[in-house]
Structure 1
Amino acid sequence: MLAIRLATMVDLEPLTDLMDRAINELQKGFLDAQQIAASRAIMGIDTQLIRDETYFVVLWNGALAGCGGWSFRRTLYGGDHSTDLRDRGRLDPSCDAAKIRAMYTHPDFTRRGVGRAILKVSEDAARAAGFKRAEMMATLAGVPLYERCGYQVIEKVQSTPAGGVDGISVPLLRMGKAL
């Protein structure tokens, strides 16, 4: 039924398609159309996570159901195209929080434990790497899941993407929890 494996560069096209569908469909009700369009400048695939082998694919009976991961790098959120958000510096597990990154669930597979499974495998891997805390930058659509999984709001952020859509800001929440 549910299987999780590390993502590879071969997965880029299907992952990009999944992310586009998730952004388009799952943000409705939380963001207006302009904010959804602006969010594309800060959301998307981060191939550094795949190269670092910290990004996972979730399959449901062989179908791509979700993706997400964690990072030992300073970048908190953003895709390859959001260069203003990039910091490839390494975190120190003794004092820094691992970053939970780029979690997306295919709209056909919501409410089936996909997001929870990604969080578990990511948190377990970060814990095994010596991290004692995890942080993420959450979309409003993801907050209910993250709260149920023990994450608490650290700060509210209005992200105005560089080169974004007419200065439209996207509400985000930096969240964290002890591992």
Structure 2
Amino acid sequence: MTARPIFTHRIATEADTDAIVALMKASIAENMKGFLTPEEIIAAQETMGLDTTLLEDGTYFVIEAEKDGKTVMAGCGGWGKRRTLYGGNHTKGRDDTYSDPATEAARIRAMYTHPDWTRRGVGALLLELGENAARKAGFKTIELGSTLPGEPLYRARGYEEVSRETQTAANGQKNTVIKMRKAL
């Protein structure tokens, strides 16, 4: 039996941008294959990617582990205190104004696990970090926009579906985003 990896975490910085983007691309390309067709993966990319406001706000985490004597990025993700529910800098319909912790939800945002590190607790750790930080910032609820591949993890961690939105992507394929919520 292989020993469970030891993960460390830290707040992502602008210097991590290239590595984060590379991890996101690998995650999207590989981790969605069991759920979506290649065309649907391309469609999903319209609502996925790096949102640099998370880096600016200091609410984005990098999960690291040791592999072959080197520290590698195993995952990334975070939470948002802005109203944008999902998407990268390129995603249409963003609202980068701040949410009111007394009346609005925080957001779990941009969670990705490198394909070499799936099913090892990276996603659960990212959720725990984001939820704890949002709670500490005074939020009472937290929401996220899930892809179909992410839905099982979020359900297992206590998130409940609020709504489903199906968009037609530029390539004509459908892209489903599931809005989910959890009390903190």
- The alignment's TM-score, normalised by the length of structure 1, stands at 0.95
User: Is 2:128 the partner of 1:120?
Assistant: yes
User: Is 2:99 the partner of 1:94?
Assistant: no
**Cα distance, 1:31 vs. partner?**
1.2
Q: What amino acid does structure 2 have at the position aligned with 1:63?
A: V
- The alignment's TM-score, normalised by the length of structure 2, stands at 0.92
Q: Match for residue 33 of structure 2?
A: 28
How many percent of aligned residue pairs carry the same amino acid? 47
Q: Which runs of 5+ in 1 are unaligned?
A: none
SS in 2 for 1:86: coil
**Cα distance, 1:42 vs. partner?**
1.2
Q: Match for residue 173 of structure 2?
A: 168
Matched residues, number: 175
- 1:33-54, CA deviations, whole angstroms, 9 ceiling, x for partnerless residues? 1110111111000011000000
Larger radius of gyration: 2
Segments ≥4 residues shifted beyond 4 Å: none
User: Is 2:137 the partner of 1:129?
Assistant: yes
User: Is 2:55 the partner of 1:50?
Assistant: yes
Q: What amino acid does structure 1 have at the position aligned with 2:86?
A: Y
Structure-1 separation of matches of 2:120 and 2:16: 22
Structure-2 separation of matches of 1:172 and 1:57: 24
User: Is 2:7 the partner of 1:7?
Assistant: no
Q: Match for residue 3 of structure 2?
A: none
Q: Which runs of 5+ in 2 are unaligned?
A: 1-5
Structure-2 separation of matches of 1:58 and 1:8: 13
Given that 1:78 and 1:85 are in contact with CA atoms closer than 8 Å, whether structure 2 keeps it comes out as no
Q: Match for residue 86 of structure 2?
A: 77
